[in-house]
Structure 1
Amino acid sequence: MTGRRLSSLLASVTAAAAGASILTGCGVLPGATGGSREPVTVMTWAPDQTRATNMPGMPAMAQTYARWVNSQGGIDGHELRVLTCNEQNTPAGAAACARRAVRENAVAVVGSYSQNGRAFMAPLEAAGIPYIGGYGLTDDEFTSHLSYPVNGGLAALIAGHGMQLAESCRRVSLVRPDTLAGDRLPKLLDAGLKKASRRGAVDIPAVEDATEYTEQAASAREEAGTEDGCVAAVLGERTQTFFDSFRRLPKATGGAQAADDEDDTAESVRISSVLGSVGQPVIDRTGGARSPFEGAYVTGWYPEADDKSWEPMRKVIQEHAFADNRVDPTDTGVQTTWIAYTVLKEVIESLDRDTITSARIAEALDRGAQVDTGGLTPKLRWMYEDLLGAPDFPRIVNHAVTFQVVRKGRLVAQKPGFVDVGPTVSHGG
Structure 2
Amino acid sequence: MTDQISRRRRLGGLATASVLLLSLTACGGGDDGKDDFAKPKQNADVTFSGDPIKVMTFTPYDTDTINFKAALDVADGAKVAINNAGGINGHEVVVVPCNEGADPNKAADCARKAVDEGVSAVVGGFSANGDTILPILEKAGISWIAPPVISAAELSSKFSYPIVPGVIAQAGLGAKAAEDGCDKVANVMYDLPSSGSVKELGNVGLASQGHAPATVVPVPPTTTDFSSIAQEISDYDCAIMSIPSGPLTGVAAAGASLGSKTKYYAFPGTLTDSAISQAGGALDSAVTMSPFPPSGDAVWDDAKKIVGDMSSEENGGWSYMSYQSTWVGYQLLAEVLKDSTDVSAAGVKAAFDAASAVDGLGFTPELSFTQEFPAPGMNRIFNTKVMFHDIKDGALHQDGDYVDLGASLTPAS
What interval of TM-score do these two structures reach, taking the shorter chain for normalisation? 0.7 to 0.9
2:250 corresponds to 1:242: yes
Give the Å deviation of 1:180: 5.7
What is the aligned partner in structure 2 of residue 17 from structure 1? none
Contact 1:208 1:238 in 2 (8 A): no
2:170 corresponds to 1:158: yes
CA-to-partner distance for each residue in 1:59-94, whole Å, 9 max, x for gaps? 221111112222233222111111222222232232
Give the Å deviation of 1:99: 1.4
Instruction: Name the amino acid aligned to 2:89.
Output: D
Contact 1:209 1:238 in 2 (8 A): no
Instruction: Name the amino acid aligned to 1:334.
Output: Y
2:60 corresponds to 1:47: yes
After superposition, the Cα gap between the structure-2 partners of 1:42 and 1:195, relative to the gap in structure 1 and judged at 3 Å, is same
After superposition, the Cα gap between the structure-2 partners of 1:242 and 1:324, relative to the gap in structure 1 and judged at 3 Å, is closer
After superposition, the Cα gap between the structure-2 partners of 1:45 and 1:236, relative to the gap in structure 1 and judged at 3 Å, is farther
Give the Å deviation of 1:134: 0.8
Contact 2:174 2:240 in 1 (8 A): no
What is the aligned partner in structure 1 of residue 183 from structure 2? 170
Q: 2:338 pairs with 349, 354, 360, which one? A: 349
Give the Å deviation of 1:380: 1.3
Distance 2:222 2:100 in 1: 17
After superposition, the Cα gap between the structure-2 partners of 1:281 and 1:425, relative to the gap in structure 1 and judged at 3 Å, is farther
Give the Å deviation of 1:218: 2.9
Higher RCO (C-alpha under 8 Å, 6+ residues apart): 2
Contact 1:34 1:78 in 2 (8 A): no
Distance 2:103 2:58 in 1: 12
What is the aligned partner in structure 2 of residue 97 from structure 1? 110
2:314 corresponds to 1:314: no
What is the aligned partner in structure 2 of residue 189 from structure 1? 202
Distance 1:208 1:314 in 2: 37
What is the aligned partner in structure 2 of residue 400 from structure 1? 385
Give the Å deviation of 1:115: 1.8
Q: 1:300 pairs with 290, 302, 305, which one? A: 290
Contact 1:29 1:70 in 2 (8 A): yes
What is the aligned partner in structure 2 of residue 201 from structure 1? 214
Give the Å deviation of 1:32: 6.3
Contact 1:305 1:330 in 2 (8 A): yes
Distance 2:176 2:409 in 1: 14
Contact 1:208 1:235 in 2 (8 A): no
What is the aligned partner in structure 2 of residue 36 from structure 1? 49
Distance 1:33 1:182 in 2: 52
What is the aligned partner in structure 2 of residue 8 from structure 1? none
What is the aligned partner in structure 1 of residue 324 from structure 2? 335
Give percent identity, aligned residues only: 27
Distance 1:32 1:211 in 2: 54
Contact 2:310 2:317 in 1 (8 A): no
After superposition, the Cα gap between the structure-2 partners of 1:403 and 1:244, relative to the gap in structure 1 and judged at 3 Å, is closer
Contact 2:265 2:287 in 1 (8 A): yes
2:264 corresponds to 1:252: no
2:404 corresponds to 1:420: yes
Q: Secondary structure at the match of 2:239?
A: strand
Give the Å deviation of 1:232: 2.5
Instruction: Name the amino acid aligned to 1:252.
Output: G
Give the Å deviation of 1:30: 5.3
After superposition, the Cα gap between the structure-2 partners of 1:307 and 1:35, relative to the gap in structure 1 and judged at 3 Å, is closer
After superposition, the Cα gap between the structure-2 partners of 1:34 and 1:106, relative to the gap in structure 1 and judged at 3 Å, is farther
- Pick the structure with greater CA Rg: 1
Distance 1:221 1:302 in 2: 31
CA-to-partner distance for each residue in 1:310-357, whole Å, 9 max, x for gaps? 1xx32232134497954933332221112111121022212134xx21
Distance 2:309 2:283 in 1: 30
Q: Secondary structure at the match of 2:338?
A: helix
Distance 1:292 1:115 in 2: 29
2:381 corresponds to 1:374: no
Distance 1:243 1:32 in 2: 53
Contact 1:32 1:74 in 2 (8 A): no
Contact 2:77 2:306 in 1 (8 A): no
What is the aligned partner in structure 2 of residue 120 from structure 1? 133
Contact 2:288 2:388 in 1 (8 A): yes
2:352 corresponds to 1:362: no
What is the aligned partner in structure 1 of residue 34 from structure 2? none
Structure 2 unaligned spans of 5+: 1-39
Q: Secondary structure at the match of 1:169?
A: coil
Give the TM-score normalised by the residue count of structure 2. 0.81
Give the TM-score normalised by the residue count of structure 1. 0.78
Contact 1:239 1:278 in 2 (8 A): no
Count of residue correspondences = 369
Give the stretch that moved more between structures: 403-412 or 205-214. 205-214
Instruction: Name the amino acid aligned to 2:171.
Output: A
After superposition, the Cα gap between the structure-2 partners of 1:316 and 1:406, relative to the gap in structure 1 and judged at 3 Å, is closer
Contact 1:212 1:245 in 2 (8 A): no
Give the Å deviation of 1:282: 2.2
Q: Secondary structure at the match of 1:378?
A: coil
Distance 2:112 2:43 in 1: 29
